[in-house]
Amino acid sequence: MIGRRHRRDDTTGREIAAPTEIPVVAVVSPKGGNGKTTVSSNLAVGLAHRTDSVIIDLDIHFGDVEYALRMRPAHRLDDLVEAGNRRDPMTMLSTHPSGLEVLCAPNDPVAADRLSVDDAFAVVDRIVAAGRPVVLDTAGGISDYSLGALDRATRVVMVCGTDVPSVQAGRKLLDTMRRLDMDLDRVDLLVNRADAHVGLSVDDVETALDRHAVITIPEHSSLAAGMNSGSPVTESSPRSPIAVAFRHYADVLLGIDMAAAVTGRR
């Protein structure tokens, strides 16, 4: 199955609250290899099709947003930290062909090690204050950068596979957020590789994590090809079911009434 999941009328069937503010979306996965950057880049391009939007790569040591979007940035996160208040960070972002503004991670782990978390998030906060939708791509696991992203997010997209280690890691992340008094109602589940022939079913994942999947993404060659070529499916195959699912979720985040939007185009 590709796309949105119909919500059940039970405790896991939370409706996404109508947005009351410009979305800041943290895309997280407590286990690496779940396709988190693929999700981040596709969602960010989906948002950019509707309005001026930004993606920030907070996987500061090994971030690959620049490869997912085939970017050659003139400035990176560490450059913006070094510039401090001398320049508007919005003028130092790189522009993707979709119109998406991109802030890539440092060029190498040594440069990343020189960054302080507080200085990095001072830049993030200035970009968020500019009033555009922002997608925060994070590293796998739980770090100061992922926790900082969770603190600032109006929505959290938790990317989970159908393998048992992914689900166990997802439960640990939710438990950590609960212990830190973070609002779990902000967390939307995305199940990647939902049609894998080994592992758990989507229903099993939903039950284990006690939440309904907002999007289920099948194993599909177009996603891997898009990552390798630097062309997300929301850009290269905008009419594909996977791209439509990402765009619909982007519209939900923006509070767009799709019925009204269709009527308005007639």
| Structural domains in the chain (count) | 1
56 assigned to some structural domain? yes
Q: Residue 176, Cβ neighbours under 10 Å: how many? A: 15
16 assigned to some structural domain? no
CATH code at position 255: 3.40.50.300
- Consecutive sets of 10 residues in the chain, 266 residues long: mean pLDDT of each? 40 43 92 85 95 97 93 95 94 95 95 94 97 95 92 95 91 94 94 75 93 84 64 84 90 74 36
At 111, phi and psi to the nearest 5? Answer: -65, -40
pLDDT at site 40: 95
pLDDT at site 2: 43
pLDDT at site 17: 47
| Segments forming the whole domain that contains residue 81 | 3-8+21-265
104 assigned to some structural domain? yes
58 assigned to some structural domain? yes
pLDDT at site 258: 47
User: What are the Cα distances from residue 238, in Å, to 4, 128, 218, 222, 255?
Assistant: 16, 27, 16, 12, 20
Q: Which pTM does this prediction carry?
A: 0.86
Q: Which uninterrupted H or E stretch holds 113?
A: helix 109-113
14 assigned to some structural domain? no
Strands (E), the chain: 3-4, 24-28, 54-57, 94-95, 101-103, 134-137, 155-160, 187-192, 213-217
15 assigned to some structural domain? no
Separation between Cα atoms, residue 40 and residue 137, nearest integer Å: 6
94 assigned to some structural domain? yes
Tokens of 53: 């939007």
13 assigned to some structural domain? no
